[in-house]
Chain A
Amino acid sequence: MATTVPILPKASAWKLFFKTVFARAYPRVVGQQREKSWMFFDIFLPILSIAAYVYVYRAIGAPEEYIGFVVMGGAMTAFWLNVLWSMSSQLYWEKEQGNLALYIMSPSSMMAILLGMALGGMLATLLRASVILFIGGWLFQVRFVVVDFWLLILVFFLTMTALYGLGMMSASLFLLLSREAWHLANLAQEPIYLISGFYFPVKNLGFWIALGASLIPLTMGLDAMRQLIFPSATQFGFLDVRIEVIGLAVLCIIFLLGARLLLNYMEKLAIQEGRLTESRR
């Protein structure tokens, strides 16, 4: 029997990898849109937060660029929330549902599964972020003037890769920490809004705090994108965009490698100890 079993050749292994990525992205891209409550929770509520900041800034006579910063920051919170709650905690939920054992047992790699989750989450969130950006920009009369379109695309791509790399890495961590991770996620949510400068230029926090906050890819990503979308915003920029591009590229490598290493460790632990795929204990 064993001699007749086909072992996947190299080309098929790649094909399987991409099929898995696509298939695991599907529930997020297609399935999540079926829950119509996202329009309220993911669009309406963030716009309320944005509106609060906009009215405060206008009341205190803050520079007009701040209005655009807030709208952009509000749109980018969708990605942070998605990474924190849907990406980082996802393996834990997969375990609880009984999917994790089926994923580990299947011939496809766990990295492909995680990548699919990330890609699906990113695409689904892109829709939400775009709607927030569009409605926020229209409501508060924000003028977007893109300085360098392709550089903007590059910054966005690197920010998303590093951010979801961080999400993939923390997915394994959350699984290992189990319920304690829930508290960590709660703890991380609001402080990151503050230190990553979602609603104001991160430069205002001072160099060292901003540098520390740059471990979260959205800090540098948001700062660079603001400089590329609002030409007069360079005076509020934390670092030169080119330096931020390099920083984001380094974060991409660190987080993706970290995700792979932690995933391997998690899978090994699951098989050795038998507790990570067990949802009934």
Chain B
Amino acid sequence: MILAIQTNHLSRIYKIRGGKKNSPKELVALQDVSMEVHPGELFGLLGPNGAGKTTLIKILTTLLAPTSGTALVCGYDVVKEAHKIRPIINMVSGGESSGYGLLTVRENLWMFAQFYGLSSKEANRRIAQLLEVVGLSDRINTKSSDLSTGLRQKMNIVRGFLTDPQVLFLDEPTLGLDVGASRDVRRFIRQWLDDHPERTILLTTHYMAEAEELCDRVAIINQGRVLACDTPASLKHHLQREAIYHLEVSQVENHYSEHLKAIQGIRKFLLRPRDGYAVLELILDQDETLAAVVNALTQNKVRIINLQKREPTLEDVFVDLVGKSMEDIERGNNGANPSES
């Protein structure tokens, strides 16, 4: 069987131009990425901004050449056989503003369909059908400049599916959408793949819940490296031996962090200040360690407002692998990868 996507030791290094006197700096966006995606899979790339997700998608969609390694889409090499890949793929990015504001939704979609050789009749049939499915049929003759962000993104989603691609790349498709619109988009993506089981979707996201809800398998990526790749259930299963606790505590100052670090049996902990309180996420080797944690908090005059033991999530998997939450990385990320949003 030919794989939908296959990468072997794929790397991409950007050369960032410095000033006139400075020689260009090198920035490693992808490093030795090897992975396989099977036909029919909805495969997720999960990682913070700057992790290398968009770079990988650009390489797979023939928009960017790798620095080293190989990448195949439907068995075709992205560098040498780009012309064979392009008719059978499509891509939708979150927050994109493609198309022309003066054209209506139908006209914009028709135009992009023509670039793939669809007949006008077939294009219009598919446009009407897909707009109906995403709940945009009443806006078919609305100028796209008059659409809200959510509706515009639905139009972009339809553009991606319109050409019935063998492999579809969705780069943060729900970025910037409200809860309702995100849910609609996710439902549509899942439904489409269920209706077309031979098609493949590669989806990048930094929303854990989205990856968990949609993806058959997930690769966790950070700083250009794939750290783990498995089904969401299997990834979480590795953590099920550990005890995961969610605490809400009264003290916002983190002077007690040092005490927590000193406790044996704490695998990872994250302390996040909230409005008037703090959230403490703990991954412990065993439940018994909790007593030492509670003791340390009490000694530091920290009041426990809420304490819950919970099932592991992909967020916990990420923290376990990277040592930081995605939120913390993004907050401290100063644009490490130039190709990421």
Contact = CB atoms under 8 A, between A and B. Distances in A.
Interface of A: 1-3, 5-8, 12, 15-16, 19-20, 22-24, 26-27, 30-32, 34-35, 97-99, 101-108, 113, 270-274, 277-278, 280-281
A98 B171 CA distance: 13
B4 interface: yes
For chain B, what secondary structure do more than half of its interface residues adopt (helix, strand, loop), or is it mixed?
Answer: loop
B273 interface: no
B100 A27 contact: yes
Contact of A22 (B55, B114, B116, B339): B114
B338 A26 contact: no
Nearest to B118: A19
Contact of B65 (A20, A32, A103, A271): A271
B84 A15 contact: no
B341 interface: yes
16 contacts: A1-B39, A6-B87, A7-B84, A23-B115, A26-B107, A27-B102, A30-B103, A102-B112, A105-B89, A107-B86, A107-B115, A107-B116, A270-B63, A274-B12, A274-B64, A274-B65
Interface in B277-301: none
B63 to A, nearest CB: 6
B117 A12 contact: yes
A270 B112 CA distance: 21
Contacts of B98: 97-99, 102
Contacts of A34: 102, 143
Interface string B44-62: 0000000000010010011
Contacts of A97: 97-99
A97 B341 CA distance: 15
A88 B262 CA distance: 64
B117 A274 contact: no
Contact of B111 (A12, A23, A274, A281): A23
A15 B119 CA distance: 10
Nearest to B84: A7
B97 to A, nearest CB: 5
Interface string B133-168: 000000000010000000000000000000000100
B91 A105 contact: yes
A107 B115 CA distance: 7
Interface of B: 1-2, 4, 12, 14-15, 39, 55, 58, 61-65, 74-76, 83-84, 86-91, 93, 96-100, 102-103, 107, 110-112, 114-117, 143, 166, 198, 338-339, 341
B74 A5 contact: yes
Contacts of B63: 101, 104-105, 270-271, 274, 277
A2 B117 contact: no
Nearest to A16: B117
A2 B3 CA distance: 9
A24 B115 CA distance: 9
Contacts of B1: 1
B102 A31 contact: yes
Given A1-B74, A104-B63, A274-B55, 4 more contacts: A1-B2, A16-B117, A23-B115, A278-B338
B122 to A, nearest CB: 12
A217 to B, nearest CB: 28
B162 to A, nearest CB: 12
A2 B74 contact: yes
Nearest to A270: B63
B74 A281 contact: no
A233 B88 CA distance: 58
B115 A20 contact: yes
A117 to B, nearest CB: 11
A4 to B, nearest CB: 9
